[in-house]
Amino acid sequence: MIAKNKKTKKQNKWQDSAFSILLGLFLAVALWFLVSSNLQVNQKRASLISRVEELREEISVLSARNEQLKSGLAQSQDDDYWKGRLYEQGYVVPGEEAVVIVPPPENREVAEEKEKNWLETVKGIFGF
């Protein structure tokens, strides 16, 4: 019986060390899997956070544009707005006349006289 105990102890030592190695290897693989998946989740979270910020900026721009369009829509529903637009295009109410105000033409001689100093003006008068 003593001989059998010695052999079983050697086998148990080998089995214990093999089990410990396998258990350590399994734990290392599980730890590597958990760390790598955590890194992937963090990278994905960072990209999603940046996308959320971009979308928030886009929402603020679009909401400002929406407010502009709403105010334009409210303005366009006013009769005075459409009357003004029609007057700009040349339409008038029957019985009225359209009056067009034209700016005065630029006169180059007047501009040149303004650019001359008083001595040149006196020379021009006396013909020097």
Q: Where are the domains of the chain?
A: 2-102
Which residue has better confidence, 2 or 51?
51
HSE-CB for 92 with a 13 A CA cutoff: 8
For tokens 């409210």, the residue is: 74
For the cut 50, the answer to whether the pLDDT of residue 1 exceeds it is no
For the cut 60, the answer to whether the pLDDT of residue 40 exceeds it is yes
Single pTM value for the model: 0.44
